[in-house]
Amino acid sequence: MEEVFKGSFTQQEPIPEAGIEAALAVLRHGRLHRYNVAEGEVAETALLEEEFAASVGAAYCLAVASGGYALATALRACGVGPGDKVLTNAFTLAPVPGAIASVGAVPVFVGVTEGLVIDLDDLAAKAGQADVLMLSHMRGHVCDMEALTALCAAHGLTLIEDCAHTMGAAWNGTPSGRWGKFGCYSTQTYKHMNSGEGGLLISDDAEAMARAIMLSGSYMLFDRHRAAPPPETFARIKYETPNVSGRMDNLRAAILRPQLADLDRQCARWNALYAAMEDGLADTPGLTRIDRPHAEQFVASSYQFLLLDWSGPAIEEVLARCARRGVELKWFGADEPHGFTSRYDSWRYAPSDPMPASDRVLRGIVDMRLPLTFSTDDCAQIARIIRAEVGAVWQAGVAAQ
């Protein structure tokens, strides 16, 4: 009998009991707005910012409404405006070029390597076109951050990091998000902490963070923040910075604080699932696993492999066969965008020159989620199914040649 996987690739774990308790307390007192505090009370949102800043060693942190909002706010706080070009990854998710477009700026896409990170040679070639790089650590793949930051310094590029997939990850011991002027995180359901929607922004730059706090809609209540620059930083900025409302509320922060306290343990569980996938797919003919450098301390909430140089129909055949056996794979190579997979050439508001080497990689990327509701046995079974179906299509292809 052919085995069929019965789990759900989109089922997250429940919110921890401590988060549910904290959320109920907020609901019972009714002070959901972050600046609505009782005498002597510190808002959950302010506490979350303080705790998140401490967890990554950042001077400042701001909680906001979404990851995409965090990205757009970082751009605005860096002075990016209409007509400016912003370098970003060709392999990323739609909210990244979307954040750039939301401030009237224009994305310039930089290629992707077979290691699924930004192509530093392509970045060097395009660095002269922009002042800002919005680096997306897409699907948790972290590039050589020493080389990247050296390149940014050499070309005068301001770095903003999209850490939607790298909360808890690091390069050579320095957390992702700590290499640039801003690090931007998402707490949307499919990321590493789940508040439905939400985002976090970190920085060590007092002026830039003061601008971000004003932008988020702090009115003149910035002194109620605990991970903010000192009030004197706001002296001029408070008059100059528009309010682009996008705050986080106390209910979401209450749900997130216990999850942050448990993040390291969760990251270790994700990586155990990833290791089970890696073991199960080792030496599968036709399938390329992604090389993870030793310096990369990744957090794997998803798994990618490459079917490099396979034809479109052959990849679709693998996806269909796996789907029949309960294994939901996503393909970044399809010509039409589906679900969350879209490619730089499907974002037609941001025309780009073709990138043949990157297109070859993008055409081969197969992607799946690894929710923590899976066990390592589940992952071993998923890997057996993928291995068998990739093998069957590969054999047929080899036989046909």
Ligand X SMILES: *Cc1c(COP(=O)(O)O)cnc(C)c1O
Which residues bind to ligand X, rule: CB under 6 A? 66-68, 92-93, 95-96, 136, 138, 162, 164-165, 186, 188, 199
- Between residues 72 and 227, which has the closer beta carbon with respect to ligand X? 72
* Cβ atoms of 241 and 215 closer than 8 Å: yes
- Between residues 164 and 314, which has the closer beta carbon with respect to ligand X? 164
Q: Which residues contact 241 (CB under 8 A, 6 or more apart)?
A: 210, 211, 214, 215
- Smallest distance from the beta carbon of 69 to ligand X, in angstroms? 7
| Rounded Cα gap, residues 298 and 97, in angstroms | 24
Which secondary structure element, helix H or strand E, spans residue 56, and what is its range? Answer: helix 44-56
- Smallest distance from the beta carbon of 401 to ligand X, in angstroms? 37
- Smallest distance from the beta carbon of 199 to ligand X, in angstroms? 5
- Between residues 134 and 314, which has the closer beta carbon with respect to ligand X? 134
Amino acid at 73: T
| Residue whose Cβ sits closest to ligand X | 67
- Smallest distance from the beta carbon of 71 to ligand X, in angstroms? 6
* Cβ atoms of 389 and 322 closer than 8 Å: yes
E-strand ranges in 181-335 read 182-186, 199-203, 288-289, 296-297, 302-306, 330-331
- Between residues 96 and 251, which has the closer beta carbon with respect to ligand X? 96
> 123 — phi, psi (to 5°)?
-60, -45
- Between residues 95 and 229, which has the closer beta carbon with respect to ligand X? 95
- Smallest distance from the beta carbon of 193 to ligand X, in angstroms? 11
| Rounded Cα gap, residues 371 and 300, in angstroms | 10
- Smallest distance from the beta carbon of 165 to ligand X, in angstroms? 6
- Between residues 189 and 395, which has the closer beta carbon with respect to ligand X? 189
- Smallest distance from the beta carbon of 58 to ligand X, in angstroms? 19
If we measure between CA atoms, which residue out of 16, 5, 18, 34 comes closest to residue 251? 34
Q: Largest alpha-carbon pair distance within the chain?
A: 77
| Rounded Cα gap, residues 50 and 270, in angstroms | 25
* Cβ atoms of 303 and 277 closer than 8 Å: yes
- Between residues 186 and 218, which has the closer beta carbon with respect to ligand X? 186
Q: Which residues contact 115 (CB under 8 A, 6 or more apart)?
A: 141, 143, 290, 291, 293
> 247 — phi, psi (to 5°)?
-75, 160
Find residue 201's DSSP bridge partners: 62, 184
- Between residues 66 and 241, which has the closer beta carbon with respect to ligand X? 66
Specify whether the backbone of 298 is left (phi greater than 0), alpha (psi in -120 to 50) or beta: beta
- Smallest distance from the beta carbon of 384 to ligand X, in angstroms? 28
